[in-house]
Chain A
């Protein structure tokens, strides 16, 4: 009986969510503008705090039917607030197309547009973006325009990409945090050099704490009001309970699992209201929430079915946090991703297996709700229990692309190499896509930029001159005659990478300083122990661990190109370097035979060929070494990652034909995955090749996408084989792997472009086969079957 009731509630909430039309919410834009107009002479950190307080006080709130967990970042479900302090002009320019554009359509009311046209112009010229763009050196702008790197994420928006210290709030409540801040403020010596600045920071933090309790109390009041108004007795009881919960948390430490979940959700919302940084992530939810679950289960007040229902009430809240992307980004980041990532399993701070009952419940909640957020990461290590790996595989098999899998055996040492304490290293969670961070301690600027390795390679074989535009903006590393060995090519590549990494780090540090200056984060800082201890804002370097993480894109293209040059020019002498450059200039027109030879008969990364895998390792590590030698203004260092999200598409558009056979403009390889379709030996070969990269140095994370139809492992024994595949990958030392959903659309795409999908493994009847090698009729049949499955 109880079971039927639960499914209904979650299903109703799920359906209600799916019915909501994504919209723009202008409340935040209006409130922050009002507040800023009143605080012009305030220090930035106090100005931000006052604005945050105003938003928390005035932002419209709501509670939906059936909800047991409440709170949102905007005035309606699935609505995107506006953050004019980061960038404003493009919103004015593009607002009329939000509802009609190709991807991520957002409804915006005509009367709201009128208000935005009044409010936004006062920000133009003063935003974080404007400050940065005015200050960027011409050389840097040129490099960005010509596609050497892109760092617009943090130029146009908030930083995000951290795991708040949820535990601080769960242990002390915001009341406890407030008391700590007051004590610190009382200790500040106003005559000290940094005394004034510290006291400003603490005052701002106190305003934020007050704003938070105000916000929660508004929900408590609303719930009480709604309880009086409803005629449904059951709902009345729920609303009265909600009122009690919201009156208690996050101000105080939770007394029940329900209160802990509500407290968690309030904390999770706050950084998304304060700033529009993406990927603010829950981290190790199954660790810090477990005591509350255990307490209720032991006292008999909660059984695991009720716990699951509450958990799923929370899960369906996540995808309500959406972001307004500009039209260009909306095309490439379709689906309104915020990338809130929950991390499960892994090790305790003492190094023992940390998997617990809640880890399983969370996986179950994801399997039941099947929504795009929260994204789920599982941490595996040598001693992860089989049962947990199996449960993860069961969810993977559902084909949602979740959970993604991470390898403690590589990530913990990588963090130690970045000077984390051992306990902290073992306590990492995943932020965004693949970036390890420690909750309440790391401010990693994880998605700081995308760096075009393929462009650097192109410049390296063209003496620093961009063949597409003719602009000589790279280092003059020598022409075709000067490249007489693969060592020469690698040296030229290294010099180009080094030059552009210098420009990139300068650009990001300038961005970093603009955030410190114009967009302090007093609320988020309350969630970091060290910020409060030191009296320094998160953007000012207050966190315990500070990093900046720019991603290299196109590792496999560089590797395959190096292999092709080595094979065709220096070993087989099929053609000279000059002839090769001519073929590239012609985009292989008139060089069809050579082109096919490049595609089919030169070694490719992703096929378990140690020689070309070694070149891939070099291609990545040359970048990693350049990046890690730089420091940031927050007192931390740069740490490289190797993953593109979807930047491999725009960064590929500006790169001409490459010696690996890639034609001009084509997307670059995705993550550290092989170039699409160039791996032809199945997933074990891909994993071995990828594991050969220097993941430990690419400590901001590397990403492997496997195109692997979950139906390949449909049977019970198939599940066991997926477990073994993952165990093998862990043993080999990969960083991350996720299994892509194969949809009918992908298969149709594969029919049209078989060369790019040579690796696509599908299950047919009792067999697995590479899709593109099947007859058209069989392919059509599989497409029909796939459509039926979904």
Chain B
């Protein structure tokens, strides 16, 4: 019997209207090859499932402690302490938790299950809506991502991939091949700064971008505007240069840095590395938009 293809997903977002054309369903695959300090989805970074504790929902009832077969979850006062080294991710605590304070980030789903979810919103896709396979970095589960895209294309939905580009080209090509267009993240144009803030330099990212352009795929460049990190005029000028060099650029989306994900770091027992970064002001956003538009680029704030 043929093996059923499945993968890890940490979120399915219906009625996504800021990530590509039309009304889209976003499939967030778990696992990422970068570690951006401002990341708003820390639960996306590791490929497998992760146990989260959402403190605001917790009523400190202690039921989790009693059901844990490994005795690796403990109630201390009103805090739940998880020994993540010993936790086997059996999810007994999650099933028992009456308030959904304990949650498993990351669900294993088959391609069929994903396509069924995407199909739910088919009445709203019209001619340009459809699926966006996003991450994390979707190319870390390339067979799974490609299969979702192929199947959705067969349903007549438009298909998109949102990638940060930091994967070997053969893998990237395998996924992008089946996408109508690509939402391509560019974090920083300077290799050193890129390494400093994401953990890797941007050589591979820029090479892959050129290759995707050569494939003729429509490209939506996505630039997270993070004050003090990548908002200097020189970086924006270089971004404009790269954007102008692309034959198939549709638009550049400036994604203003925000702290909506800050609480999720605490859920995972991690520190928020971008705590002292501020959100860009409306004036700063407009200034960057104007600077890019001067190069004849189609720019949108927030996608």
Contact = CB atoms under 8 A, between A and B. Distances in A.
- Asked if A pairs with B, the answer is yes
Interface of A: 592-593, 596-597, 600, 608, 681-685, 687-688, 712-713, 715, 717-718, 721, 724-725, 727-728, 731-732, 764-769, 774-775, 777-778
Given A596-B99, A725-B23, A764-B258, A608 B18 contact: no
A683 B120 CA distance: 12
A413 B279 CA distance: 52
B255 to A, nearest CB: 6
Contacts of A596: 98-99
Interface residues of B, number: 32
A728 B256 contact: no
Given A593-B98, A775-B262, A685 B17 contact: no
Contacts of B129: 724
A767 B17 CA distance: 9
Contacts of B121: 684, 688
The 10 closest A-B pairs by CB, nearest first: A766-B302, A728-B124, A682-B15, A596-B98, A728-B123, A721-B17, A682-B14, A765-B256, A684-B15, A684-B121
B21 A717 contact: yes
A775 B259 contact: yes
A778 B100 contact: no
A774 B13 CA distance: 16
A597 B255 contact: no
Given A725-B23, A764-B258, A592 B123 contact: no
A725 B124 contact: yes
Given A685-B14, A718-B17, A592 B98 contact: yes
Contact of B99 (A600, A608, A712, A731): A600
Contacts of B15: 682-684, 725
Contacts of A718: 17
B126 interface: yes
Which of A593, A682, A721, A774 counts the most chain B CB atoms within 10 A? A721
A685 B120 contact: yes
B17 A713 contact: yes
Interface string B118-145: 0011011110010000000000000000
Interface in B80-105: 98-100
Given A728-B124, A764-B260, A766-B301, A684 B23 contact: yes
A137 B18 CA distance: 59
Interface string B9-29: 000011101100111000000
Interface in B9-65: 13-15, 17-18, 21-23
Given A592-B98, A764-B258, A767-B260, 19 more contacts: A596-B98, A600-B99, A608-B120, A682-B15, A684-B121, A685-B14, A687-B124, A688-B120, A688-B121, A713-B17, A717-B21, A724-B126, A728-B124, A765-B279, A766-B253, A766-B254, A766-B302, A767-B302, A778-B258
Contacts of B255: 766
A732 B100 CA distance: 33
16 contacts: A681-B14, A715-B300, A715-B302, A717-B300, A718-B17, A721-B17, A721-B22, A724-B23, A725-B15, A725-B124, A727-B124, A766-B256, A766-B258, A767-B18, A768-B18, A775-B262
B291 interface: no
Given A596-B99, A681-B14, A732 B123 contact: yes
Given A685-B14, A767-B302, A600 B100 contact: yes
